[in-house]
Structure 1
Amino acid sequence: MTQPPPPQYAAQPPAKDPAMVMGIVGLILAFFCAIVGLVISIIAFLKSRKAGFTNIPALIGIIVGILATVGWSIGGVNLGNVVAKCNELGPGVHKVDGVTFTCS
């Protein structure tokens, strides 16, 4: 009795990262709206990791989102300090401890 030929398996296409597009969107948004980009990048990174991929754009989006969020936070605190100082000093140009404040 002859044996049947072994089954032929078709080559599988390379697997695609299910969250690559989301990672790219998160990276782009991290430059313009840091917190939103950060959240989307984190979600994309976790989805990719769960599927067994490394989503580099999402990882970069996380880094940029964190740095931008910290930068905006520091800038907001400094702006708040300047506004408070101007409220204290009143309108005009004032020099305090070597720092010039121009208040309107």
Structure 2
Amino acid sequence: MTSSGTENPYGQKDPAAAPAPYAQQGAPYAQQPAPYGAPNVDPGKTMAIIAIILPFVGLGLVGLILGIVAKVKSKKAGFNNKLAFWAIIISILAIVVTIVLIIVGIMLGVEAAQQLVDACSNGDPTVVINGQLISCAGIK
């Protein structure tokens, strides 16, 4: 038995001389699409919802701050968070209304105090203001 170099003594072909069974010919396989993952979620959406609710329970300043933070987070993630925008607007309006109500309350309080002082300046022990009997003890 003669050996041509491609066969070994046991009658098998030399694996180094044989062509690779899975040799790549032509273009490689096309890249497979990425598997579906979780959808992108706006990181500021929940915070914006909370920021919309807070001004209605008297926390306009906290709602404004959360609305701004939600807007910034959404913008960094590439989302246009309209809820955060409206939370900022509602919070600003709530703050303005609160400031106006505080000013009106102070003005009414000062006016009532002035009426009490004027009424008690006559020396009467009690006065009636807006239908309420008020003692003038200690007011001068």
State TM-score, norm by structure 2.
0.62
In structure 2, C-alpha distance between the alignment counterparts of 1:7 and 1:55, rounded to whole Å: 35
Partner residue of 2:61 out of 22, 25, 35: 35
Gaps of 5+ in 2: 1-24, 117-127, 135-140
Q: In structure 2, what is the equivalent of residue 97 of structure 1?
A: none
Is it true that 1:25 corresponds to 2:62 in the alignment?
Answer: no
Is it true that 1:92 corresponds to 2:140 in the alignment?
Answer: no
Is it true that 1:76 corresponds to 2:102 in the alignment?
Answer: yes
Gaps of 5+ in 1: 94-101
Q: Deviations over 1:57-99 (max 9, x none)?
A: 1111100000010000000000001101111111513xxxxxx
Which is richer in helix? 1
**Structure having greater relative contact order (Cα 8 Å, sep ≥ 6):** 1
In structure 2, C-alpha distance between the alignment counterparts of 1:78 and 1:87, rounded to whole Å: 14
Q: In structure 2, what is the equivalent of residue 64 of structure 1?
A: 90
Q: In structure 1, what is the equivalent of residue 74 of structure 2?
A: 48
Residues 43, 103 of structure 1: CA spacing in aligned structure 2 closer, same or farther, 3 A cutoff?
A: farther
Q: Deviations over 1:32-53 (max 9, x none)?
A: 1111111101110111112111
Cα pair 1:26 1:36 within 8 Å, conserved: yes
Q: State the one-letter code of the partner of 1:27.
A: I
Runs of 4+ in 1 over 3 A off after TM superposition: 11-14
> How many residue pairs were aligned?
97
CA RMSD in angstroms comes to 2.2
Q: In structure 2, what is the equivalent of residue 99 of structure 1?
A: none
Cα pair 1:31 1:37 within 8 Å, conserved: no
State the percentage of identical aligned residues.
31
Q: In structure 1, what is the equivalent of residue 121 of structure 2?
A: none
